[in-house]
Structure 1
Amino acid sequence: MDLSQYAMVEGNPKYQQAIKRERALYTRAYDIRTPFGRDYTRLLFSQGYRRLKNKTQVFFAIDDDHVCTRLEHVNLVASIANTIAHQLKLNTELTNAIAAGHDIGHAPFGHGGERILREISEKYGLEPFWHERNSLHFVDDIEVLEDDYHHFYNLDLTYAIRDGIIAHCGEMQQEIIRPRDEVIDLKHDFLRPGMYEPFSYEGCVVKMSDKIAYLARDIEDALRLHIITEQEVNSLRDELNALGGYQFNAINNGSIVNYFIQDVIHHSSELGIGLSKEAFMKMRIMMKFNYQHIYEIKRVDIHNNYVKLIMNSIFEFLYDYYQSPSFLEDLKRDQNQYHALITHYLSHLEKHAKFKDQPRNPLYENKVIYDFENDPQAITKSILDYLAGMTDTFLIKSFNELLSF
């Protein structure tokens, strides 16, 4: 299918909105990149992107190099989405940039960590935490890059990429994803996951690819970790084949990804990025299998309780400092005892916080997001963002500092 007339390129009536930024970027002479190409490299250069290599996708198996990490998942999504977008003649630069940034604000320890951060945020009267909105928050407010003069600025990404990030929810069961036409305030109008479809066809491709990327990859990891058996996977294969149509010889990442890519390419149209009825049914069966046999098993609950202990302990440890009028001085006093946890938290505050009678470092020209002088929730927001940005490994390292004497 040729969807080139809907590609987000110059001439598309939505293009000028798609390339809008909250603040103009600095420029260099002879910069050859397009707006979306520039955003792609800004995401790759960000610290949040780098940390994805040590964040859980589904299974916490830090000693096993072959279990999928959040960064591998992002790269799988990007590969799938790029193939589909290329075949449909959409804008692959936009597609790649959305894919690169779509999980940049994901919590450590996967969806279990996400639920725990949601519980903490609701307990302290903040809006519920969900990783799609937090990814937008990270690219809008948290991530900074250094310019040629050592000054730091926010990423200031284009609207189409910011939109694709918050609209990517891969848990939705949809046979077709139709891009919306209306322009919305992404920070204030988007109130829950999946509330709006992406603004671009490219965003719809990434949203579909997110589902395709994790279906069989999670099954491969579950097999490797002996959470499911070959017999259970063969039963899944037989159930899929009983629907008729395409017959799977094996259920693995290559066979599943190829099947869905081919189906999306042949069943997308001007109506949206879609699946055949057969493929949609097979996707639903695989998602149900994964939830029943992988995501909701007892071992996952036990691990989530462990993560809950770690996250709540660190939150409460940092929150208690704020009860003292000498909040910052007390943190600095204990920095040697809890070196990793406090040092990096203080660095986080230096970048993003404003305190009464304390000038900011003039090198930081990014937004102030924690106003400790006027916002009573500044402490809660700052710790939640700090936790959300952590890797699994750093979270455990910080917790171990609390246990050490």
Structure 2
Amino acid sequence: MRTLREELEEQERKILSPFATLSSMTKGRRIPEEECPLRPAFQHDRDRIIHSKSFRRLKHKTQVFLAPTGDHYRTRLTHTLEVSQIARTIAKSLRLNEDLTEAIALGHDLGHTPFGHAGEETLNELIPGGFNHADQGLRVVDLLEKDGEGLNLTFEVRDGILKHSKGKGEILCEDPSLMATTLEGQVVRIADIIAYINHDLDDAIRGGVISPEDIPKDCLKILGDTHSKRINRMVTDIVFETLKAGGGKLSISEEVLGAIWSLREFLWERVYENETVHADFHKASKILRELYQYFMDHPIEFLRLLDKPELYDSLERCVCDFLAGMTDRYAFNLYEKTFLPLPWMIV
């Protein structure tokens, strides 16, 4: 008698595009394990990510604005959810594997530091060999989660997490060494860009860093004058251009691609490198630098904080993992506890 998982896998074979990644054809896990009788492999991975501690911590990690007090600013968690929604819309329209797409999307930023990219840049300067949040994301799911056991995710999800990051690089990557091996992973990469350039624009307006009138007029003309219209235009263009090209490679019209480039350059110039925004990031960087040096100088105290009998890697690497996993507020509180005098309590 077939399991429910096998029936779902059969449905995938009947419904999905020939360019989709079938759950039954996964390259497997780092550590072989018995398959779930209910869930196909990628659905199982998605569930593991959602239930992980590192996923929950995303709710208190900076997206762009440091520890915002307003209720409507994005955090790293809400960014992740928006990426997932956009990626699933594209994947469903192209008849790709939604479970794989969602798993990669939900896990793509698990390696992010507190204080957003300022935290990443700081750790990159401090740690021998450098630091990258995509590499750290793989380290989180392979080693750090579940007290060192890791989540034991499939190759395809791990590959998508590792290959999602683009920085200021190409929007549609053509370099095979930088591209996810699955079309679903490539969808998450472009969905990440669509999500952040739209919601960061929205948050920058909300925060008074820019005004709606500052947005380049040519971008508004091509993409639309509202948050919803811009996302819809980008997603629709990608879906129809990809289908027009045969469905095996993500495509986007030159007009929309040019508008996305312009909007991203505008955000870098006016928001990400804005002096007001950067002033707080310099302070956040100071917190991470001083905590790093303190733990390097006090390894016994660091071990006590980790609640471990011994280090699982070099001291530098363990301190890096600890700092990268912090939420903004945990970093603030630990810095205060470590370096600032506490009020003397008299009963």
TM-score normalised to structure 1 length: 0.75
> Which of 280, 285, 293 is the matching residue for 1:308?
285
* Residue identity (%): 30
1:246-395 matches, within 5 Å, as: 246=222, 248=224, 250-252=225-227, 254-268=228-242, 269-322=246-299, 327=300, 331=301, 345-347=305-307, 349=308, 353-354=310-311, 369-370=312-313, 378-395=314-331
Alignment check: 8 A CA contact 1:25 1:156 kept: no
Of 194, 218, 222, the residue aligned with 1:239 is 218
Name the SS for the 2:178 alignment partner.
Answer: coil
For residues 33 and 86 of structure 2, the distance between their equivalents in structure 1, rounded to whole angstroms, comes to 30
State the 1:62 CA deviation.
Answer: 3.1
Q: How many Å apart are 1:153 and its aligned residue?
A: 2.9
- What corresponds to 2:9 in structure 1? none
Contact 2:160 2:180 in 1 (8 A): yes
1:172 CA drift (Å): 5.0
Does the CA contact (< 8 Å) of 1:179 and 1:199 recur in 2?
no
Deviation at 1:165, TM superposition (A): 0.2
Q: What is aligned with 1:78?
A: 84
Paired residue type of 1:261 = V
Kindly state the Cα deviation for residue 267 of structure 1 after the two structures are TM-superposed. Answer: 1.1
Q: Structure 1: any 5+ residue segments left out of the alignment?
A: 146-151, 181-194, 332-340, 355-368, 371-377
The one-character-per-residue Cα deviations of 1:301-331 (angstroms, maximum 9, x if unpaired) are: 2112101211111111111113xxxx3xxx2
Contact 1:179 1:272 in 2 (8 A): no
Distance 2:220 2:132 in 1: 35
| Correspondence 1:25 to 2:56 | no
1:102 corresponds to which of 94, 103, 108: 108
Deviation at 1:175, TM superposition (A): 5.8
1:251 deviates by 3.5
- Asked if 1:115 is matched to 2:121, the reply is yes
Aligned positions, number: 324
Runs of 5+ unmatched residues, structure 2? 1-14, 343-347
How far residue 25 of structure 1 moved from its aligned partner, in angstroms, is 3.2
In 1, Cα distance between equivalents of 2:43 and 2:175: 21
| Greater helix share, structure number | 2
Q: Tell me if 1:196 matches 2:204.
A: no
**Following TM superposition, by how much is the alpha carbon of 1:46 offset from its aligned partner in structure 2, in angstroms?**
0.6
Do the aligned partners of 1:136 and 1:165 also contact (CA within 8 Å) in 2?
yes
Residues 178 and 273, structure 1, Cα contact 8 Å, conserved in 2:
no
| Equivalent in the alignment of 2:194 | 212
Larger deviation: 223-232 or 263-272? 263-272
- Shift of the alpha carbon at 1:65? 1.6
Distance in structure 2 (CA, Å) of the matches to 1:247 and 1:78: 21
Alpha-carbon distance between aligned partners in 2 of 1:240 and 1:35, rounded to the nearest angstrom: 40
For 1:239 and 1:136, locate their aligned partners in 2 and report how far apart those are by CA, in whole Å: 39
Distance 1:320 1:114 in 2: 22
Distance 2:64 2:131 in 1: 18
**Cα offset, 1:67, TM superposition:** 0.6
Aligned position for 2:150: 154
State the secondary structure of the residue aligned to 2:18: helix
Cα deviation code 1:346-381 (max 9, x no counterpart): 23x45xx55xxxxxxxxxxxxxx42xxxxxxx1111
Tell me which residue corresponds to 1:228.
210
Q: Given that residues 135 and 165 in structure 1 are in contact (C-alpha distance below 8 angstroms), is that contact kept between their aligned partners in structure 2?
A: yes
Is the CA contact (8 Å cut-off) linking 1:173 and 1:284 kept in structure 2? no
Q: Which residue of 1 aligns with 2:21?
A: 8
Letter in 1 for 2:17: S
**Any idea what the Cα deviations from partners look like across 1:106-130, whole Å, max 9, x if unmatched?**
0111111100010111xxxx21101
Q: Is the 8 A contact 1:179 1:204 kept in 2?
A: no
Change beyond 3 A, Cα 1:136–1:10? closer
**Which residue of the partner structure matches residue 404 of structure 1?**
341
Aligned counterpart, 1:139: 141
- TM-score, scaled to structure 2: 0.87
Letter in 1 for 2:239: I
Measured at CA, do residues 138 and 399 of structure 1 come closer, stay the same or move farther in structure 2, by a change above 3 Å? Answer: same
**SS of structure 1 residue aligned to 2:149:** strand
**Is the Cα contact below 8 Å between 2:64 and 2:116 reproduced in 1?**
yes
Matched, 1:50 2:65: no
Give 4+ residue runs of structure 1 displaced > 3 Å after superposition: 25-28, 172-180
3-state SS, counterpart of residue 289 of structure 1: helix
